[in-house]
A and B are shown apart, each in its own frame.
Chain A
Amino acid sequence: MNETLGGILVVADSGIINATLAQTLFSLAQRVMIVNEAKQALALAEAGPFNLVLFSARLPDMTAQEFLRPIKNADSANTVATLVIGDPDQDVELEQCLQAGADDFLITPISEGLLKARVQFVLEHNRLRHQHEPSLENAELLKIEHDIQVARRIQAGFLPTELPKPGGWDVAACFQPAREVAGDFYDAFMLSQNRRLGFVIADVVDKGVPAALFMALVRSLTRAFAQQNYSINWTDILEAGTSAQPFTRRQTRAIPSTGTMALKNAVQLTNNYITENHMQDNMFATLFFGMLDPATGQLAYINAGHNPPVIFDGNGNLKLELKPTSMAVGMMPDTNYSIEFAQIDPGDFIFCYTDGVTEARNAGGDFFMEDRLFELLARPGTTARGLVDHVYAALQDFMTGAVQFDDITMIAVVRQPERF
């Protein structure tokens, strides 16, 4: 049943619609207004749309027909269902109302079951009738279309307009939604007073507008949390391990080094927020967050269920796949996201992508697959832009004549070779 459009407007005294019946109506619609007088009802109907008007054949301030006329006149698209209630001796009035356009009638005394069945029937009938009204559907579609365009513009604003490029490094990204709005995003920004490059790629496990809204949330939270200086978590420190060996203790990974708290907070606090506030939406995002020290090439990262980013060396060899270290963001409350480390040497690059790349399909229905991607990536000495564009061109070639099913997002971070 579709109760979301407007609601139910009732014009009848409590002798007809008693508390129990009112309760029944409240269970059928999100908005139910009950008034005694027809004038009041007309004012309400004018102010906002209802999808059902339930009225008594015996109104205190006008006849039922007089009441019905303006309701019908205002409803040129015929979206408001009308249901008249009469006593057993009022068959004449009821008949007149039906002629004047009322959809159906009820005879007092009304039982709960009957009221429910009749209301549902009238609403459903109305809904079905409108499914076959093409003019209305087009108008609605146009409106949706317009809204999606707006959403697309807003979403584009969530992506960084300019990517940071710390000295000796080169960063580029590509973002191609499957529909007008996407559930993927990428981000890159400097942290810890320009000492670290943070970069993120994420994929919300859903598509279309809901995924886009969720993406906006996850993206905003990760960035905001990463840029706060949060207190050391006691439990983090206490995790620091029990090795009694002096000095090596300092290398224990649970002890924060530059940027690692930002990294951990960004993912963990985002997960906490989502699992606390949006658990019922059943939405989650796979997310990779890298925290790079541009001076040394050391990369601290959290891979929350995202397909592994890859590091290629200067000779075009696949050096490392950064496998997931934990569950996706938004799946489980209190997930502990542990940090892993990798090294990006001069001439190496790291390439992150969403599964829209490897799961792109050609006209024959074949997947693009990792092998094709890795083959494309095995080309040393390319700029970040060159890499991303190269892969995207190959994808477009591959998908000729086929539909893009999933969002395609990539980000490449290239460390320039050392010059001697």
Chain B
Amino acid sequence: MPKVISVHSFRGGTGKSNTTANIAALLAEQGMRVGVVDTDILSPGIHVLFGLVEEKMVHSLNDYLWGSCNVEDAALDITANLGDAIKGKIYLIPSSMKTGDIARILREGYDVGLLNDGYERLIKQLNLDFLLIDTHPGLNEETLLSIAISDVLIIVMRPDAQDFQGTAVTVEVARQLSVPLMLLVVNKTPQIFDSQMVKKRVENSLRCEVAAILPHSDEMMALASEGVFVMKYPDHPMVRMLKKVLDYFQK
């Protein structure tokens, strides 16, 4: 049964896009067929991690929303960009980086219902095992819709007081939408923090499963979004932690 996984955070810059890309790569490494949709239409970015240069973007999610192509026409097979280790497939449905396109979304909006139908069609047309949805921070229409249809919701947060409060809001909404599986990933944890303590504190205050406490990593910083971490540093301890996240929905 194909699964839809949304990756979200209440605040920006928590590591959503990196987490999405890493999970996509780990799944594809196992031989899974994975689709990644960038619904962060207002500030797209995940295509950078997958090494997609703008010129290669023939169509984008925007074109689908505006009716100039089918959603699968915007899907790009970027498996080869991640090296030879990958047995499965990764398809990326990027959002447009053109200023005019972003302005048009702000100006006209679009029929959010198209996303729901688009996700379903992608799964069918590309024969996907997993559809990953990278989102814009905060709660907006596409995020609400994505959460509502997800089988798994991964909420990324930093161990920071502002993140705590915001994440509580997201958790509450997801509960009301009765997402079947909701997981927290705490990211950018300072090395001096005791991760067991952090885990306890987060679980106690948000009453939600914590699937990973990821450290702040200088290698990740240095990678600076120019690649997918788990592919570049396969032996880094963070890879093991991320693989553990997969166990939650891959049993």
The interface of chain A, by Cβ under 8 A from chain B, is 191-195, 228-232, 234, 237-238, 240-247, 249-250, 255-262
Contact: B148 with A255, CB < 8 Å?
Answer: yes
A250 vs B150: C-alpha distance when bound (angstroms): 8
Q: Which residue of B4, B113, B119 is within 8 Å of A256 (Cβ)?
A: B113
- Give B141 Cβ to nearest chain A Cβ, in Å: 5
- Give B146 Cβ to nearest chain A Cβ, in Å: 11
Q: Which residue of B149, B176, B180 is within 8 Å of A255 (Cβ)?
A: B149
Contact: B145 with A232, CB < 8 Å?
Answer: yes
Nearest residue, chain B, Cβ from A264: B113
The interface of chain B, by Cβ under 8 A from chain A, is 1-4, 65-68, 108-114, 116-117, 119-120, 141, 144-145, 148-149, 151, 176-178, 180
Nearest residue, chain B, Cβ from A256: B113
Contact: B178 with A242, CB < 8 Å?
Answer: yes
- Give B228 Cβ to nearest chain A Cβ, in Å: 27
Contact: A240 with B111, CB < 8 Å?
Answer: no
A193 vs B65: C-alpha distance when bound (angstroms): 8
A244 vs B109: C-alpha distance when bound (angstroms): 31
Would you list the 10 A-B pairs with minimal beta carbon distance, nearest first?
A: A193-B67, A229-B109, A256-B113, A246-B151, A258-B113, A192-B111, A257-B113, A250-B149, A258-B117, A232-B141
26 A-B pairs in the complex with CB atoms less than 8 angstroms apart? A191-B111, A192-B113, A195-B114, A229-B110, A231-B141, A232-B145, A234-B144, A237-B145, A238-B176, A238-B177, A240-B148, A240-B177, A241-B178, A244-B178, A247-B2, A249-B151, A255-B148, A255-B149, A256-B112, A256-B145, A258-B114, A258-B117, A260-B113, A261-B111, A262-B111, A262-B113
A250 vs B3: C-alpha distance when bound (angstroms): 11
A247 vs B113: C-alpha distance when bound (angstroms): 17
Contact: B149 with A194, CB < 8 Å?
Answer: no
- Give A56 Cβ to nearest chain B Cβ, in Å: 66
Chain A residue contacts of B110, Cβ below 8 A: 229
Contact: A257 with B116, CB < 8 Å?
Answer: yes
Chain A residue contacts of B65, Cβ below 8 A: 193
A230 vs B117: C-alpha distance when bound (angstroms): 17
Nearest residue, chain B, Cβ from A291: B113
A71 vs B145: C-alpha distance when bound (angstroms): 72
Chain B residue contacts of A247, Cβ below 8 A: 1-4, 151
Please give 13 more A-B residue pairs, beta carbons under 8 A apart, in addition to A192-B111, A261-B112.
A229-B109, A229-B111, A232-B112, A232-B141, A234-B144, A238-B176, A238-B177, A240-B148, A242-B178, A250-B4, A250-B116, A255-B116, A255-B148
Contact: B149 with A246, CB < 8 Å?
Answer: no
Chain A residue contacts of B1, Cβ below 8 A: 246-247
A257 vs B119: C-alpha distance when bound (angstroms): 10
- Give A241 Cβ to nearest chain B Cβ, in Å: 8
Chain A residue contacts of B66, Cβ below 8 A: 193
Nearest residue, chain A, Cβ from B67: A193
Known contacts A192-B67, A244-B178, A246-B180; decide if A237 and B111 are in contact (CB<8 Å): no
Chain A residue contacts of B68, Cβ below 8 A: 193
A194 vs B110: C-alpha distance when bound (angstroms): 13
- Give A269 Cβ to nearest chain B Cβ, in Å: 15
A231 vs B110: C-alpha distance when bound (angstroms): 9
Chain B residue contacts of A258, Cβ below 8 A: 111, 113-114, 116-117
